[in-house]
A and B are shown apart, each in its own frame.
Chain A
Amino acid sequence: MQDFLDIFDIYLLEAVLNGILLGGVLALLALGLNLVFGVIDVIWICYAELIMIGMYAMFYLVSGFGVSYWFAAPLCILLVAGLGAVLHLLVIAPLLSAPPINQLLATGGVLFFLQSFATVAFGIDFRNIGIQLPVLGIGEMHFSYARLLAFIAALVGMVAVYVFMKKSYVGTAIRAIAQDRHIMVLMGVDTRRVYLITSALGGALAGLAACLLVLLYDVHPFIGLSIGPITFLICVLGGLGNFIGGFVAAFVFAEIISLGGLFSDLEWGYVLAFGFFILMMFVRPRGLLARRS
């Protein structure tokens, strides 16, 4: 083991591995957004704000009411799933036949709303859930235990969604609608119900992400602005609605951020990642894994 480690610069290896862990979390973030886009053809610009609300729910449940983390997590997922369904019913459903850009802008309004709601209701302080997980040391490298947990949970969540989509009847209907939304109505599929289920599922994934992110970061009303853009970029980089593409893109992005952060500030890691994104849009406008047309 030690010989193997000696080949690499230890910090480089640590950055690469941390990038992989970060990639797992980013992949989970992208999954929910991709699901909603693939099926309903709508981009939730306020997706990260749903996560923020979930993080606040976790914070208040765990530190406020003393609920155990493992009991609070399902509650949080349920809550955000409900929010996703409500978002669909109130905002997206009336706009389904409007130009797609209007749906995007309307969820932009929801972004404003949720952000200010959090400011008004919870204040602008940074809040920490107060669960300190140990740091894992392998050789001379250090990994946050929370990140490892997040990575594993993200993988489990993704596999669960995959199985649901492949094996269950509703999952099959969802995939069918994603392929052709007009013909499925003629096949007797209730699109409204499928849309609602998909929205709830997208919300549930945001809720799961919230449970994990609350271990990694302090929550504040504007956290959505820092995790939102990167999630969208990953989805676009992977090809909107393309689950596997989003998965790959998440790891590519995470590595760029992690390695960029190794050589310079973390912000420059982000700048690099964003620049890479714009570059890739021109090389592969329909996503990393898309076939060239």
Chain B
Amino acid sequence: MNARYGAWLALAAVLLVALPLVHRDPYHLHIMVLILIWSFAYTSWSMMGRFGLTSLGHGGFMGVGAYVTALLWNHLGVSPWLGIPIALVCAGALALIVAYPCFRFRITGHYFALVTLALSGIVLQVITASRDYTGGSLGYTPEAATGSKLLALQSSDKTVWYFGALAVWVAGLLIWFLVDRSMMRHAMEAISEDEDAAAAAGVNVTSEKLKITVLSALMTALAGAVYCQYQMFISPDTVSGIAVSLQMVFAAVVGGLYVALGPTVGAVITILLAEVLRVGFGTRAVGWDNLIYGVLLVAFIIFLPKGILGSLLERVRVRR
């Protein structure tokens, strides 16, 4: 089993690395890059979502990651190599400020979802309100590099971005597996079953929840920053706010938030669906993708709460 598993893994790795060298169609590469970046974002959300911490504030973390990086570059000339870590620190601090009292005062379930909803609302409003700096709802563009492109972390070569996004995505999966094998996972599973029982068994509930939340926020902010550097255009509606938060939840639920590759499957499905509709029907398709998402999300939660990949894997396991 293990050898076969390793062989499959190696094959997948070779295929993913070889793809841009063989197939150079820029449009397809663009879609691949988008899928990888969003997969990473959805994976970040599932890091805490799988333990019953349903956050609707991840749009906020993503917005902080994207906007702080871009603002530092445009206004202070700070290279994204330094700007991204700063943005991550900001997002982490934001997560701490909101999450610590939440966990300390046992704000869970509905209440947690709504407090984090307020967070993404705040980030969206702050970005829109400080329009003198951020361009408001019209969006924002990091200035094109005049000197070294590497220093500015900009590139017009899709192949470069493909490898960058691939690396980030793989890193996300690695973090997932590390968490999966750590004590943190057992602690979090105990907490999601019953907080009091977990606390009685010696789990430090607040600190365990805080760790996973900050980790998830950092990853989401990184996704926002990478997205910003790749697209070279961000707007409050595409990287922050409630719609983005819900989009993350949706993709993770559809793909399956309890398995490592579930969010990736979710990203593939949602992005391909949107693109197929866009290419097939053009402007007439505006809104149709979300219409289908909405129906799918409801149907999935009712009939297939473990998501596509989650249910498939379960079926395979039962058959064995």
Interface residues of A (CB under 8 A from B): 43, 90-91, 94-95, 98-102, 104-106, 108-117, 119-120, 124, 221, 225, 228-229, 232-233, 235-236, 240, 265, 267-268, 270-271, 274-275, 277-278, 281-282, 285
Residues A274 and B290 in contact, CB atoms below 8 Å apart: no
- Cross-interface CB contact of A278 among B119, B125, B243, B289, cutoff 8 Å: B119
Across-interface contacts of A109 in B (CB, < 8 A)? 250, 293-298, 301
Across-interface contacts of A240 in B (CB, < 8 A)? 110-111
6 nearest A-B residue pairs (beta carbon): A113-B294, A109-B297, A119-B287, A267-B129, A112-B294, A116-B290
* A110 CA / B289 CA spacing, docked (Å): 13
Which interface residue of A91, A114, A265, A274 has the most chain B CB atoms within 10 A? A274
Tell me the interface secondary structure of chain A in the complex: helix
Tell me the interface secondary structure of chain B in the complex: helix
Residues A120 and B288 in contact, CB atoms below 8 Å apart: yes
- Cross-interface CB contact of A112 among B119, B122, B129, B250, cutoff 8 Å: B250
Residues A225 and B114 in contact, CB atoms below 8 Å apart: no
Residues B113 and A104 in contact, CB atoms below 8 Å apart: yes
Q: Shortest Cβ distance from A274 into chain B, in angstroms?
A: 4
Residues B105 and A229 in contact, CB atoms below 8 Å apart: no
Residues A117 and B250 in contact, CB atoms below 8 Å apart: no
* A276 CA / B122 CA spacing, docked (Å): 11
| Closest B residue to A93 using CB positions | B302
| Closest B residue to A270 using CB positions | B125
Give B108-132 as 1s and 0s: 1 = Cβ < 8 Å from A's Cβ atoms: 0111011101110110011011000
Residues B115 and A91 in contact, CB atoms below 8 Å apart: no
Which of the four size classes fits the interface of chain B?
Answer: 35 or more
Residues A43 and B114 in contact, CB atoms below 8 Å apart: yes
Across-interface contacts of A108 in B (CB, < 8 A)? 246, 249-250, 297
Residues B121 and A229 in contact, CB atoms below 8 Å apart: yes
Q: Is B253 an interface residue (CB 8 A)?
A: yes
Q: Shortest Cβ distance from B285 into chain A, in angstroms?
A: 9
Known A-B contacts: A101-B54, A271-B129, A278-B98. Give 16 more (CB < 8 A).
Answer: A91-B298, A98-B301, A100-B110, A101-B110, A108-B250, A113-B298, A116-B293, A119-B290, A221-B287, A225-B242, A232-B118, A271-B125, A274-B125, A277-B118, A278-B122, A281-B115
Residues A43 and B294 in contact, CB atoms below 8 Å apart: no
Across-interface contacts of A43 in B (CB, < 8 A)? 110, 113-114
Q: B residues 49-74 with Cβ under 8 Å of A?
A: 52, 54
Residues B287 and A285 in contact, CB atoms below 8 Å apart: no
* A274 CA / B128 CA spacing, docked (Å): 14
Q: Shortest Cβ distance from B192 into chain A, in angstroms?
A: 10
Q: Is B241 an interface residue (CB 8 A)?
A: yes
Residues A236 and B241 in contact, CB atoms below 8 Å apart: no
Residues A268 and B129 in contact, CB atoms below 8 Å apart: yes
Residues B111 and A101 in contact, CB atoms below 8 Å apart: no
Across-interface contacts of B105 in A (CB, < 8 A)? 281-282, 285
* A106 CA / B243 CA spacing, docked (Å): 14
- Cross-interface CB contact of B114 among A221, A232, A265, A270, cutoff 8 Å: A232
Residues A100 and B109 in contact, CB atoms below 8 Å apart: yes
Q: Shortest Cβ distance from A79 into chain B, in angstroms?
A: 20
